[in-house]
């Protein structure tokens, strides 16, 4: 009787969960089950006496569809959470700056991005409550092992670390470098938006910055080896057209303001608007690049279980927050002494609303990182465009000012584009999953 190799043991869902535990289980002279690989239970001996390998119990088509469906269900939950939290963040941020007059762009950016450091402790608390019957030492040991092994998978982009010797390499230097790189790209992109706010019009700001969905797809082709598919291109174009309609559909206010201005003032504003548009354009490109870089450099490879991907996404988000708090405070005193942005602590209602905005941003960012990890940067970027329409609806409910026809038409186009892209991405992920399962089945037959 031939023994089934540990790295080919499969979960009931057909996903490979064992490769990262082969070395650990061999060291302790035992084979661990699927639950051990995610750090959820005490290690127990598991003997495989069945002569019928589980790898052939289900077809690659069934297991691939099941894995893709599970990812999409989890991603849908995080999408809803990200949309709600983004609306809360946007409304509170506008209220703080316009109503309470605490206008400190970089300081607000520092607080919001620094709040990401709370993602991992909050996640650890939830995991601990779920596994409260497990001793703390065992729980902590398995959690650290999960993070370390997943970081090794990210570094090598390989699911089978034990079979290729990748488990001996420390992932810490790589993760530190990638954290600094990705956070820098994110901060520059976010800072350009804040700088351009007072230089250009809200319409230009919205339209140009949200073109990051196009740049995310453009960068995905060379960096993620995405195929140039007509349905994805069409979806992204429809989404951008929707944004343009929302931004430029109603021109009454801007034309009235332009007619009331003097010639010299108009010329000065035009120069500022051009510079602002250039800055926000750079920010749009960098934000699209940030999303793709995160997927390429800080996400585990395809085939990783959704649970592992979620845990690592929030952990990386905490690394971004820690880097922000420890390094990116440096511009604050520089901006203060140069008189560009005088530092002043928020007090009273401004402090309370800022706390709500910061926590909402941490929730949105953690959900968005998980969404990118489970799906793709392009789908996540187009999904973020849904917030334009949702924020408009919330403003209508809050102020009583009805939605314009441009906002309704543009919002509908964005929604249609999102569903088209979701279906296209779902099919693409299913095809990739089937390919991975077919390759794994071939390897198992060779080992038998």
Q: Average pLDDT, stretch 115-133?
A: 93
Burial profile 101-114: b = 16 or more Cβ within 10 angstroms, e = fewer: ebebbbbbbbbbbb
Query: 299 near 154, Cβ under 8 Å?
Result: yes
Q: Give the residue with greater pLDDT, 329 vs 429.
A: 329
Residue with tokens 């797809």: 217
Distance CA 150, CA 376 (A): 19
Q: Average pLDDT, stretch 440-447?
A: 56
φ/ψ bin of 350: left (φ > 0), alpha (ψ from -120 to 50), beta (otherwise): alpha
407 pLDDT more than 90:
no
Least confident of 18-22, 251-255, 282-286, 311-315: 18-22
The answer to whether position 448 is within a domain reads no
Query: 394 near 403, Cβ under 8 Å?
Result: no
The answer to whether position 80 is within a domain reads yes
Distance CA 249, CA 242 (A): 10
Query: 175 near 319, Cβ under 8 Å?
Result: yes
According to the model, what pLDDT value does residue 175 have?
94
Distance CA 255, CA 250 (A): 10
16, β-bridge pairs: 10
The answer to whether position 51 is within a domain reads no
The answer to whether position 447 is within a domain reads no
The answer to whether position 198 is within a domain reads yes
Q: Give the residue with greater pLDDT, 180 vs 67.
A: 180
According to the model, what pLDDT value does residue 316 have?
95
Distance CA 189, CA 185 (A): 6
DSSP per-residue codes, 91-158: HHHHIIIIIS----HHHHHHHHHHGGGGHHHHHHHHHHHHTTTS-HHHHHHHHHHHHHHHHHHHHHT-
Least confident of 49-58, 281-290, 393-402: 49-58
The answer to whether position 370 is within a domain reads yes
According to the model, what pLDDT value does residue 269 have?
56
Specify the DSSP class assigned to residue 424: H
Least confident of 62-76, 186-200, 249-263: 249-263
Confidence of residue 183 (pLDDT cuts 50, 70, 90): very high
Confidence of residue 61 (pLDDT cuts 50, 70, 90): low
Residue 10: what are its φ and ψ, rounded to 5°? -115, 155
According to the model, what pLDDT value does residue 313 have?
93
According to the model, what pLDDT value does residue 46 have?
37
444 pLDDT more than 60:
no
315 pLDDT more than 90:
yes
297 pLDDT more than 60:
yes
Please state the length of the chain: 448
Confidence of residue 17 (pLDDT cuts 50, 70, 90): very low
According to the model, what pLDDT value does residue 198 have?
67
The answer to whether position 49 is within a domain reads no
pLDDT tens digits for 351-380?
Answer: 999 999 999 989 988 998 898 888 888 888
Q: Which of 315, 334, 287 is nearest to 179 (CA)?
A: 315
In total, how many domains does the chain have? 1
Q: Average pLDDT, stretch 214-228?
A: 86
Confidence of residue 218 (pLDDT cuts 50, 70, 90): confident
The rounded percent of the chain whose pLDDT value lies above 90 is: 22
Confidence (pTM): 0.73
The answer to whether position 34 is within a domain reads no
8 pLDDT more than 60:
no
Q: Give the residue with greater pLDDT, 105 vs 44.
A: 105
2 pLDDT more than 70:
no
Confidence of residue 251 (pLDDT cuts 50, 70, 90): low
Query: 444 near 52, Cβ under 8 Å?
Result: no
Q: Give the residue with greater pLDDT, 152 vs 391.
A: 152
10, β-bridge pairs: 16
Q: Give the range of the structural domain holding residue 169, as residue numbers without chain letter.
A: 64-426
According to the model, what pLDDT value does residue 1 have?
46
């Amino acid at each position: 009787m031939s023994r089934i190799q540990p790295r080919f043991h499969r979960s009931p869902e057909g996903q490979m969960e064992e490769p990262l535990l082969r070395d650990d289980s061999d060291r302790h002279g035992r084979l661990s089950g699927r639950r051990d690989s995610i750090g959820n239970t005490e290690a127990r001996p598991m003997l495989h006496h069945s002569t019928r390998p589980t790898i052939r119990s289900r077809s690659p088509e069934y297991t691939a569809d099941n894995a893709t469906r599970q990812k999409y269900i989890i991603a849908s939950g995080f999408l809803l959470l990200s949309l709600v939290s983004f609306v809360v963040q946007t409304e509170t941020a506008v209220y703080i700056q316009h109503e309470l007059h605490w206008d400190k762009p970089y300081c607000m950016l520092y607080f919001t991005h620094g709040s990401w450091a709370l993602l991992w402790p909050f996640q650890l608390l939830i995991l601990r409550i779920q596994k409260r019957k497990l001793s703390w030492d065992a729980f902590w040991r398995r959690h650290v092992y999960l993070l370390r092994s997943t970081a090794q998978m990210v570094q090598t982009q390989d699911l089978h670390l034990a079979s290729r010797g990748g488990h001996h390499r420390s992932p810490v230097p790589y993760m530190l470098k990638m954290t600094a790189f990705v956070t820098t790209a994110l901060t520059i992109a976010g800072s350009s938006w804040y700088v351009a706010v007072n230089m250009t019009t809200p319409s230009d700001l919205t339209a140009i910055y949200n073109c990051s969905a196009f740049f995310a797809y453009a960068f995905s082709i060379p960096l993620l080896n995405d195929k140039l598919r007509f349905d994805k291109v069409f979806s992204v174009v429809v989404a951008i057209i929707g944004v343009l309609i929302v931004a430029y559909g109603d021109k009454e206010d801007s034309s009235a303001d332009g007619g009331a201005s003097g010639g010299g003032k108009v010329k000065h504003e035009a120069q500022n608007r051009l510079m602002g548009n250039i800055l926000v354009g750079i920010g749009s490109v960098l934000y699209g690049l940030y999303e793709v870089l995160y997927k390429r450099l800080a996400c585990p490879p395809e085939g990783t279980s959704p649970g592992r991907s979620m845990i690592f996404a929030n952990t990386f988000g905490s690394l971004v927050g820690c880097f922000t708090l420890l390094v990116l405070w440096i511009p604050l005193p520089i901006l203060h002494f140069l008189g560009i942005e005088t530092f002043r602590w928020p007090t009273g209602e401004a402090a309370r609303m800022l706390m709500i905005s910061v926590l909402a941003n941490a929730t949105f960012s953690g959900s968005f990182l998980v969404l990118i990890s489970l799906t793709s940067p392009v789908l996540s970027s187009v999904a973020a465009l849904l917030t334009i329409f949702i924020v408009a609806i919330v403003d209508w409910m809050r102020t009583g000012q009805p939605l314009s026809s441009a906002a309704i038409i543009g919002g509908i186009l964005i929604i249609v584009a999102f569903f088209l892209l979701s279906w296209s991405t779902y099919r693409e992920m299913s095809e990739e999953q089937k390919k991975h399962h077919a390759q794994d089945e071939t390897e198992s037959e060779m080992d038998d």
